[in-house]
Amino acid sequence: MRSFPLSGEQIRDVEFSASPVWELLLSRLALRWPKRHAQHTWWIERVGRADADRGFAEHRAVLDSLIRPYGWIPQFVMPSSLPTPRAWPDERALIVQTAPDRVRSNIEELSARGPLPDTIRRILAEPDAGLTKIIAALDAWWELGIEPYWSRIVALLDADIQHRRHTLHTRSPRLLFSSIDRRLRWDGHTLHLPSESGNVPSHPTTGLILIPSVFLDHRPMASIDGPAPRLLFYPARNVATLWSAAPTAPRHSERLLGTSRAQLLSLLAKPRTTAGLAELTGLAPASVSFHLGILRDAGLARRQRVGRDVLYTATSLGTRLINGPAG
């Protein structure tokens, strides 16, 4: 086991966040090892074809040399603990600001674990130009593999955060950590992690940020740099539902209703809020409300207030339209 100090007062101030760059990095590993990430088969099949395209070859060489298993990722592209932004442009800006000396030193640290790929050796020789290539490759992969699906990913991450936060504040910190991984244990002043989480220093920390991930496939991982708030990454709940959360509407309903309204109606197989639909589809909340109004007027959807929430569901007519044959 590895451990780091974490007081009861720090537990009360535990924060939660999501990290676009973390999902970007881990998604490359999911793409390269599909058998270990069977829950992402739908996504792998779609992005894999574009990733294998000849036009993406230069970016692919940089990414596959930079993002390697078992910790082979330079620290300067990892999520920062001060702060942990939720938007790709914010995290991207932190990487862009990396000094050439840090690029070089972080890559040299990896050389102790074995021979470096030729692509990384060239970056090591010219860290200024190399950082530009790294940013270009990260941008290209964000646009191809993550951004089109980000609203769906972040909706699942937010749901996980809400669940964990509720567990922390209404039940107990011990239950929070054991629900993330049964081997995680907090004894009131120290957090003990599975040994696979890495060699976590024992120097004091100023707090903890918990970051769920859809692409982390096995066990929690902790950041190890400095006394700043420690980052603890862990697998999010319900990842198996991720790619079924926003089903593709049948073509016949798209021709009749339009793509956006057909997709919304497909999602109304179970009750959903306007905000939830906006997260899943990437549409603006105002656009979702507009389309829902049209679906209600057509008798395809209904609304119901449950406590503070207004929930929308498909009517029997709407369900038949989505499920019925094109004829």
Mean pLDDT of the region 46-59: 91
Q: Name the band, by pLDDT with cuts 50, 70 and 90, for residue 109.
A: confident
Domain end residue (candidates: 218, 241, 264): 241
In this predicted structure, the answer to whether residue 325 has a pLDDT above a threshold of 60 is: no
Q: Give pLDDT tens digits for 14-48.
A: 889 999 999 999 999 999 999 889 899 989 988 99
Same-domain pairing of 190 and 284: no
Range of the domain at 119: 20-149
Same-domain pairing of 173 and 232: yes
Please tell me the predicted confidence (pLDDT) of residue 218. 79
Q: Give pLDDT tens digits for 134-155.
A: 999 999 999 999 998 888 898 8
In this predicted structure, the answer to whether residue 201 has a pLDDT above a threshold of 60 is: no
Mean pLDDT of the region 154-168: 89
Long-range contact pairs involving 291-299 (C-beta distance under 8 Å, separation at least 24): 291/260, 291/261, 291/264, 292/264, 294/261, 295/257, 295/261, 295/264, 295/265, 295/268
Q: Note whether 106 and 120 are within 8 A (CB).
A: no
Q: Note whether 7 and 67 are within 8 A (CB).
A: no
Q: Name the band, by pLDDT with cuts 50, 70 and 90, for residue 247.
A: low
Q: Note whether 196 and 219 are within 8 A (CB).
A: yes
Q: Which candidate, 215, 93, 83, places its Cα nearest to that of 154? A: 215
Same-domain pairing of 40 and 139: yes
What is the count of structural domains for the chain?
Answer: 3
Q: Which candidate, 294, 2, 22, 299, places its Cα nearest to that of 142? A: 22
Of 62-66, 253-257, 271-275, where does the model show the most confidence?
Answer: 62-66
Q: List the single range of 30-34, 70-74, 103-107, 284-288 with lowest mean pLDDT.
A: 70-74
Same-domain pairing of 226 and 292: no
CATH assignment of the domain containing 315: 1.10.10.10
Q: What are the residues whose beta carbons fall under 8 Å from the beta carbon of 190, sequence distance 6 or more?
A: 3, 4, 5, 6
Same-domain pairing of 176 and 228: yes
Domain end residue (candidates: 241, 272, 289): 241
Cβ neighbours, 10 Å, residue 250: 17
CA 264 to chain centre: 23
User: For residues 262 and 252, what is the distance between their CA atoms, to the nearest angstrom?
Assistant: 9
Quote the DSSP letter at residue 269.
T
Same-domain pairing of 270 and 160: no
Q: Tell whether the torsion through CA atoms of 157, 39, 168 and 223 is positive or negative.
A: negative
Mean pLDDT of the region 235-248: 77
